[in-house]
Amino acid sequence: MAAVASETVNLVINDVEIAVPKGELIVESVKRLGLEIPIFCYHPRMKPVGMCRMCLVEVGFKQPDGSVRKMPKPQAACTLPAQDNMVIFTDTEMVHRDRKGVLEFLLINHPLDCPICDRGGECPLQNNTLFYGPSTSRFIEVKRHAHKAFPLSKYVTLDLERCIQCGRCVRFTEEISGDSELAFRFRGASMQPSTFELRDFTSKFSGNVIEICPVGALTNREYRFRARPWDLETKPSICLECSNGCATWFDYRVNRLVRVNGRTNEAINEEWTCDRGKFGHEHYNADNRLTVPLIRRGDRLEECDWPTAYAAILSAFGVGGDKVAMLAGSSLSNEGAYLLNRLFHRKFGSANVDYRRTAHTLPPDEAAGNAPTAIADLELKPSILVFGNSPADDIPIIFLRIRKAWFKHGARVVVAHHGETEADSFADVVLRYAPGTDADLAKGLVAARANDAAGVAQAAAACGVDESRIREAAALLGENTAIVTTDSLLNSASGADAFRALRQLGGELNRYALGANDQGFADLGLVPGPDGRGTAAILAGCADGSIESLWLAGADPFAFGDRATVEKALEQVGFVVYQGTHKSEAMGFASVVLPMAEPAEGDGTYVNAERRLQELRAVLSPPGEAKAAWRIGAELALRVGMAKPYFGAKDVAAEIFTQVPAFRGVAFGDRLN
**Contact footprint for other proteins (CB under 8 A):** 147, 150-154, 179-187, 194-200, 202
- CB neighbours of residue 286 within 10 Å: 12
- Taking the complex as a whole, the smallest distance from the CB of residue 71 to other proteins amounts, in Å, to 30
Q: Alpha-carbon distance 533 to 541, whole Å?
A: 9
Give 223 or 575: the residue with its C-beta nearer to other proteins: 223
Residue 153 vs 517, nearer CB to other proteins: 153
How many Å apart are CA 547 and CA 327, to the nearest integer?
Answer: 13
Tally of CB atoms within 10 A around 639: 15
CA distance 588 to 320: 24
Cβ distance to other proteins smaller for residue 13 or 210: 210
Shorter beta-carbon distance to other proteins: residue 155 or 249: 155
Q: φ, ψ for residue 174 (rounded to 5)? A: -80, -45
Q: Which is nearer to other proteins, 194 or 370 (CB)?
A: 194
Give the whole-angstrom CA distance, residue 277 versus residue 241. 6
Side by side, the strands of the sheet bearing 218-220 are 150-151, 156-158, 218-220
Minimum CB distance to other proteins, residue 585 (Å): 24
- Among residues 148, 156, 154, which one has the least CA distance to residue 210? 156
**Closest distance to other proteins from the beta carbon of 533 (Å):** 42
Q: Burial code of 205-216, b = ≥16 C-beta within 10 A, e = fewer?
A: bbbbbbbbbbbb
Please report how close the Cβ of residue 653 comes to other proteins at its closest, in angstroms.
Answer: 42
Smaller CB separation from other proteins, 180 or 480: 180
Burial degree of 183 (CB within 10 A; 0-12, 13-18, 19+): middle
Helix (H, G, I), strand (E, B) or coil at 44: coil
Q: Toward other proteins, which CB reaches closer, 205 or 344?
A: 205
C-beta closer to other proteins: residue 418 or 471: 418
Phi, psi of 80 (to 5 degrees): -100, 115
Nearest distance in Å: CB 434, other proteins: 19
Report the candidate in 491, 526, 328, 476 with the shortest Cα–Cα distance to residue 394. 491
Q: In angstroms, give the least distance from the CB of 149 to other proteins.
A: 11
CB of 150 to other proteins, least distance (A): 8
Question: At its nearest, how many Å lie between other proteins and the CB of residue 294?
Answer: 33
Query: Which of 156/569 has CB closer to other proteins?
Result: 156
Q: How many residues does the chain have?
A: 673
Residue 246 and residue 516 in contact, taking contact as beta carbons nearer than 8 Å: no
Q: Considering the complex, state which of residue 191 and residue 640 has its C-beta at the smaller distance from other proteins.
A: 191
- Nearest to other proteins of 197, 479 (CB atom): 197
- Sign of torsion over alpha carbons 664, 668, 672, 673: negative
CA atoms within 13 Å, Cβ hemisphere of 119: 25
- Output the smallest distance, CB 531 to other proteins, in A: 50
DSSP codes of every residue in 322-377? GGEEEEE-TT--HHHHHHHHHIIIIIS----EE---SSS---HHHHSS---S-HHH
Q: Which is nearer to other proteins, 104 or 222 (CB)?
A: 222
Q: How far apart are CA 293 and CA 30, in angstroms?
A: 58
What residues have CB less than 8 Å from 580, skipping those under 6 apart? 290, 329, 552, 554, 556, 586, 587, 593, 594, 595, 596
Q: Which is nearer to other proteins, 105 or 150 (CB)?
A: 150
Identity (one letter) of the amino acid at 514? Answer: L
Residue 306, exposed/middle/buried by CB under 10 A (0-12, 13-18, 19+)?
A: middle
Question: In terms of CB distance, is 199 or 617 closer to other proteins?
Answer: 199
Total H helices, total E strands in the chain: 22, 28
Which is closer to other proteins, CB of 184 or CB of 657? 184
* Strands 604-607, 8-13: pairing kind: unpaired
In the complex, the smallest distance separating the C-beta of residue 183 from other proteins, rounded to whole angstroms, is 3
Measure the CA–CA gap between 9 and 632, rounded to whole angstroms: 60
| Least gap, CB of 61 to other proteins (angstroms) | 36
Compare residues 105 and 184 and give the one whose CB is closer to other proteins: 184
Instruction: Return the H-helix or E-strand segment holding 508.
Output: strand 508-512
CB of 146 to other proteins, least distance (A): 9
Tell me how far apart the alpha carbons of residues 298 and 277 are, in angstroms, rounded to a whole number. Answer: 40
Provide the minimum distance between the beta carbon of 196 and other proteins in the complex, in angstroms, as a whole number. 4
Q: What share of the chain is helix, strand, coil (3-state, %, to 5)?
A: 35, 20, 45
- Which DSSP string corresponds to 133-171? S-SS----SPPP---SSEE-SSSEEE-GGG-----HHHH
Q: Provide the minimum distance between the beta carbon of 163 and other proteins in the complex, in angstroms, as a whole number.
A: 14
**Measured CA angle at 371 (ends 665, 480), to 5 deg:** 115
Nearer of residues 192 and 492 to other proteins, judged by Cβ: 192
Residue 193 CB, shortest distance to other proteins, in Å, is: 9
CB of 275 vs other proteins, minimal distance in Å = 14
Least separation in angstroms between CB 281 and other proteins: 18
